[in-house]
């Protein structure tokens, strides 16, 4: 019985010494279609038929702009992406016709415009929580647990990302 107690004590001591590894499961992609859609006029920062631009910001400091022209859709989001590859602070999504490009993470200098980002002098409005920004082939939402989730792509092929306060992961099959 003494040997069992010693073995158990030794095992428990060994387990106590091993550092705990935090398990961060990748967040599930939200059901984007279940959220009410924001009004386009509230997020248009450059009107026009060609090269119009829309954008929004979140309370977590992320902000995005999107545009479309001749079946090409682009979205760029900038801000604090926790755990993004290479410390990136910008995520770019792009679709041209039926071709959806993988998410591109990059780093830019001085990405934060403060709490009120602008595009060409036009303020970028705050997107309300649990509201879908669904323009220019992209759809985004932020919730209590997701700092920002965005995807681009039509049909079955899409790509995107989910950013939380802990991590940034990619989603999709494009």
Q: How far is CA 28 from each of CA 24, 122, 160, 161, 162, rounded to the nearest angstrom?
A: 12, 34, 12, 11, 8
Residue indicated by tokens 């859609």: 37
Instruction: Average the pLDDT over 48-72 and give the result.
Output: 90
Q: Across the chain, what does the average pLDDT equal?
A: 84
Residues 6+ apart with CB under 8 A from 45: 53, 54, 55, 65, 118, 119, 120, 122, 123, 124
Q: Is the pLDDT of residue 16 over 70?
A: no
Q: Is the CB of residue 40 less than 8 Å from the CB of residue 52?
A: no
Q: What is the pTM of this model?
A: 0.81
50-54, 62-66, 163-167: least confidently modelled range: 50-54
108 by DSSP, 3-state: which?
A: coil
For residue range 79-113, list pLDDT tens digits in order.
999 999 999 999 999 999 889 999 999 998 876 66
Quote the strand ranges of 6-155, DSSP E.
44-46, 53-57, 63-69, 72-78, 90-96, 99-100, 104-106, 118-119, 122-123, 133-135, 138-141, 148-152
Is the Cα dihedral 77, 91, 166, 158 positive or negative?
A: positive
Q: What is the model's pLDDT at position 9?
A: 43
Q: Which of 129, 158, 142, 130 is nearest to 27 (CA)?
A: 142
For residue range 100-154, list pLDDT tens digits in order.
999 999 998 876 666 778 888 889 999 999 999 999 999 999 999 999 999 999 7
């Amino acid at each position: 019985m003494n040997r069992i107690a010693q073995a158990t004590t030794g095992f428990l001591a060994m387990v106590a010494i091993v550092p705990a590894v935090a398990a961060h499961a990748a967040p599930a992609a939200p059901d984007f279609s279940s959220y009410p859609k924001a009004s386009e006029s509230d997020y248009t920062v450059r009107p026009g038929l060609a090269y119009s631009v829309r954008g929004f910001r979140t309370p977590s400091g992320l902000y995005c702009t999107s545009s479309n022209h001749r079946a090409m859709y682009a979205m760029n989001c900038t801000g604090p992406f926790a755990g993004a590859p290479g410390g990136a602070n910008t995520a770019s999504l792009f679709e041209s016709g039926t071709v959806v490009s993988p998410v591109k993470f990059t780093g830019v200098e001085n990405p934060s415009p403060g709490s009120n980002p602008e595009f060409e002098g036009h303020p970028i409005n705050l997107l309300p929580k649990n509201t879908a920004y669904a323009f220019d082939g992209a759809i985004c939402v932020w919730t209590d647990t997701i700092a920002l989730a965005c995807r681009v792509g039509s049909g079955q092929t899409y790509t995107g990302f989910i950013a939380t306060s802990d991590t940034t992961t990619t989603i999709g099959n494009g």
